[in-house]
Structure 1
């Protein structure tokens, strides 16, 4: 007899503006742990501690904080080991424009993520392998000044997100990756100036 049970639906990306959920990420080590779990798919607290140069107890504490907020969960045990895994394949933290706490908490998380991604980019450019011609032609760093209305900036932000969304699912499902696909990082920030 053939099993006709459909496979479970993939877990959707997390989209949240909930200040309580956002506050759980406003810590550099938690962002690093979640990033590490995204890369490894699952890891024990000991494995996380080894890769982050932290104690197992400290990593266990932060993993439980991430679990409480819904970012990570326990994976299938591996013998006596109890690994963790991310709940969502990706996360989009969107402030509620009517909630000051939500805006403040997204800004706190954003500052941590920007610092982490800026450090990652600086490490990349300092690495001699970045000078390989195949890498040079697929790498871009741009900083531009532009004058735009709020509506135009919102449209530009939507278009930038849509460009990256076109590749969604490839990280979780290798069958969606075309031949020759390589893992890449995209980090973009668009914001109006605060000065007059």
Structure 2
């Protein structure tokens, strides 16, 4: 199936939330997958999402409406009789109240869902038998590292790494910012303390 990336623009730049209701809205793996699809292709109808996920159109429509109610997705411009959806924000960040154990657990479940989604995507990519051109083989990185750091140092390290991505800002929605030969890439970054050492 050939699919064109659409450059539908979200109505808002970013979302940072600790709202328990918003966190609960993401506590379903299909909703995480739907958001990942919309982030990747810009916009899609419930039918297009159903095709990609293997779910029914009715089920995808239900979860899209739930995501809309929570503020994660919104309607894009109609395409004839088609009514596509798009992410409501370019970026999302979940920051639970550290003193609210329930919110911390909920955000952990949501984050684990994203990790599982990305791990499945990465596994599919790495085990794909089709060869890559040599320059792209060298561009693929899978690495792990152990660090000894304080909580403040780990937090700063996360901010520093994410700040490096700012030089690519805007390229998803504005193709004129992409240099010749640019392709869409994915990055999975995790950093956490070992619980037994805290």
**Corresponding residue SS for 1:91:** strand
Aligned match of 1:170 = 171
TM-score norm. by structure 1 comes to: 0.89
Separation in structure 1 between the aligned mates of residue 180 and residue 11 of structure 2, nearest angstrom? 23
Aligned match of 1:4 = none
Is 1:134 the counterpart of 2:135? The answer is: yes
* 1:19-168 alignment runs, 5 A limit: 19-129=20-130, 131-168=132-169
Cα gap change, 1:105 to 1:165, in 2 (>3 Å): farther
Displacement of 1:101 after TM fit?
Answer: 2.8
Separation in structure 2 between the aligned mates of residue 166 and residue 43 of structure 1, nearest angstrom? 27
| Gaps in structure 2 of 5+ consecutive residues | 1-8
| Gaps in structure 1 of 5+ consecutive residues | 1-7
Aligned match of 2:6 = none
Displacement of 1:155 after TM fit?
Answer: 1.4
- Conserved? CA contact 1:89–1:172, under 8 Å: no
Aligned match of 1:180 = 181
Considering only aligned residues, what root-mean-square deviation do their CA atoms show, in Å? 1.9
Displacement of 1:9 after TM fit?
Answer: 10
- Conserved? CA contact 2:10–2:86, under 8 Å: no
Cα gap change, 1:10 to 1:82, in 2 (>3 Å): closer
Q: Whose Rg is larger?
A: 1
Cα gap change, 1:130 to 1:165, in 2 (>3 Å): farther
- Conserved? CA contact 2:10–2:89, under 8 Å: no
**Corresponding residue SS for 2:12:** coil
- Conserved? CA contact 1:124–1:130, under 8 Å: no
Separation in structure 1 between the aligned mates of residue 130 and residue 186 of structure 2, nearest angstrom? 16
Aligned match of 1:16 = 17
Aligned match of 1:3 = none
Name the stretch that deviates more: 60-69 or 158-167: 158-167
Number of residue pairs aligned between Structure 1 and Structure 2: 189
Cα gap change, 1:124 to 1:17, in 2 (>3 Å): same
